[in-house]
Structure 1
Amino acid sequence: MKKLFTIICLTVIASFAIRNTATAQDYRNAIGGRFGTANGVTFKTTLGGNKMLDLIANFRSNNGFSYFRISGLYEVNNKIEGAPGLLWYYGAGASVGTRKWKYDNSTDAYLSVDGVLGLDYKFADAPINLSLDWKPAIGLTPETYFDSAGLGLSLRFTF
């Protein structure tokens, strides 16, 4: 089931690659991996100007539960003077997914409101992008809580 869900998500992500929009970034689209508190796949595409959409499909597991979720983040990118290729960004979005408890195999729906704050670097002579960010979340279901552990490093191929 997770494989089918991942394939569907990647198909949706690939459809954004067709977009042809002017951008303030040094790339229009980027796809790759996200590693950190949760590991997964990330696709970032321009919405025009300095705005971008970051879609993330990831999974996380600990002693009590595991989850799979899809996040969509609207980001505003800002150049850093004197640092070509380096941007800082902030934004917000949401995540949906499922959470499975290991002790009784029960599954819950997962929904959260997310924020993001980070740095984005595009190598000048290579189609490679690195992002380091903090993505805190307010879980809405199955219970309300604040998750401040959302650190991630993304390595992407740009096109």
Structure 2
Amino acid sequence: MKKLFLLFITVGFLSISSQEAKAQALGNDYRNAIGGRFGVANGITFKHFVNSSDALDFIVNFRSKKNQYSTFRLIGLYERHLPINNAPGLRWYYGGGAGIGVWDYKHDNHDSEIALSIDGVLGLDYKFNGAPINASLDWKPALEVTPDTGFDAEGFGLSIRFAF
């Protein structure tokens, strides 16, 4: 029984070590990360890598303009991460997705409307070596579909996440 337990532990350890080595060889130093996003709209971000270069990024954000409006949005992005030569831990990425949320107008008796958007993203992603910290700096423009059609180019943000 003791030998079977040691064999199980050894195989498990080798399997985990092999997966970590494979992920690092492919340039992916983390699989998941959660943290804050700060910029024009502040919120929470969760990034999950589906393979070594493609990730899903979910953002819940809040934005308010004093005495005009406030928004609450959920955005889902599909991102493609590519390495930058001679810069370990640093990658650039691009992608796209969509958002849904609510606009609350502070004038007009607090009327609310559903907000839909088509979102893009272009940025830099850095994983600190030896620490479970990830940081991203990006531009996330959006084509607003409702309540009004327009282009929002103000989507600059800094995300700081706990990577695991």
Tell me which stretches of 4 or more aligned residues in structure 1 moved more than 4 Å: none
Aligned to 2:136: 131
Residue from 64, 83, 89 that aligns with 2:93: 89
Distance in 1 (CA, whole Å) between partners of 2:40 and 2:50 is 27
TM-score, normalised with respect to structure 2: 0.82
Aligned to 2:64: 61
Q: 1:27 deviation in Å?
A: 0.4
When the two structures are aligned, how many residues end up with a matched partner? Answer: 140
Question: Structure 2: 5+ residue runs without aligned partners?
Answer: 1-18
Aligned to 1:44: 47
Question: Structure 1: 5+ residue runs without aligned partners?
Answer: 1-19
Residue from 107, 117, 120 that aligns with 1:112: 117
Structure with larger Rg: 2
Aligned to 2:107: 103
Distance in 1 (CA, whole Å) between partners of 2:156 and 2:59 is 13
Instruction: State the identity %.
Output: 58
Q: 1:49 deviation in Å?
A: 2.9
Amino acid at match of 2:118: V
Aligned to 2:50, what secondary structure does the other structure show?
strand
Distance in 1 (CA, whole Å) between partners of 2:96 and 2:137 is 16
Aligned to 1:98, what secondary structure does the other structure show?
strand
